[in-house]
Amino acid sequence: MQRIAELRQQVRCWRAQQLTVSFVPTMGNLHEGHLALVKAAREQGERVVASLFVNPTQFGPDEDYAAYPRSLQADCARLEALAVDTVFAPSALEIYPAGIDGHTRVDVPALSGILCGAFRPGHFTGVATVVAKLLNIVQPDVAVFGRKDYQQLLVIRAMVADLALPVQVIGVPTVREPDGLAYSSRNAYLTPSQRALAPELYRTLTALADALRAGESNFALLETRGRGALEQAGMRPDYVEIRRGADLIEPHPGDTELVVLAAVWLGNTRLIDNIEL
């Protein structure tokens, strides 16, 4: 489906049958991580909607919106194989009929300007805006997101709570390749030599998490150690941070629910990952 009105009519029919609806928003170019979200959505609802939409408002002017990999036919085939009930693949005009610049925006200021938000200004406003719109279009009982995009998950949860949207947000654990690299659509940009180096991101975060579990509490020293390891491996870190898991505030000694997060450049490809404690 490409039209909002058509999708809404379908959901109304399901509601008339008192069926529960799960929703998986994606930007397409599906991989195993996305498919895990779909499988989780199937467990949560009697009908599953997945969207395929490369959202222009979450890309900066010098980012990869035009080059972002798109594979609509292959994506639809993979979703059909998982018995997704409806695939919503709208155009940018369908989502932003008045254009992008003048469109209403949703901002979550407490979470949007830190970590990835500090390096990608406006990114999380674009994410919150499109997710709010998609949730209003689909009106699901449950929406499913990946925990690899940890900051995004918290932004969406805060937005849903602040706007009192009647949807349960589910976070699904990160799916990794055998060598530990988290699945990402942007992994396709990596050259073979870069792909061989990429798992160092996960190994470095794992080492920091192990040190925290062992009782180390000098967070600044651990972050410096992590940045050094990634630089030595040939990556350019945007950040390596230890934050409180609930709200991404800088932790205090004694805090136990922590998350270790990093964003790095490997060549021209930006990779993110995290480990929750």
Q: What is the CA radius of gyration of the chain?
A: 19
Q: What confidence score (pLDDT) does residue 254 get? A: 85
Q: What confidence score (pLDDT) does residue 253 get? A: 84
User: What fold is seen in the domain 4-172?
Assistant: Rossmann fold (3.40.50)
| Cα–Cα dist 71/180, whole Å | 25
Q: What confidence score (pLDDT) does residue 67 get? A: 87
Q: Tell me the whole-structure pTM to 2 decimals.
A: 0.95
Angle (deg, nearest 10), helices 200-213 and 219-232: 160
Domain coordinates of the chain in residue numbers?
4-172, 185-276
Q: Which residues are catalytic?
A: 34
Other CB atoms within 10 Å distance of the CB of residue 66: 8
Mean pLDDT split into 10-residue runs, the chain, 277 residues: 97 97 96 96 97 95 89 95 96 93 92 97 97 98 98 98 98 97 95 97 98 95 98 98 97 92 97 97
> Which of 3.40.50.720, 3.30.1300.10, 3.90.470.20, 3.55.10.10 would CATH assign to domain 185-276?
3.30.1300.10
Q: What confidence score (pLDDT) does residue 128 get? A: 98
Angle (deg, nearest 10), helices 123-138 and 4-16: 50
Strands (DSSP E) along 130-173, which ranges? 142-146, 168-172
Q: What confidence score (pLDDT) does residue 219 get? A: 96
Please name the residues in contact with 13: beta carbons below 8 A apart, sequence gap of 6 or more: none
Q: What confidence score (pLDDT) does residue 277 get? A: 94
The residues with which 142 forms a beta bridge, in sequence order, are 22, 168
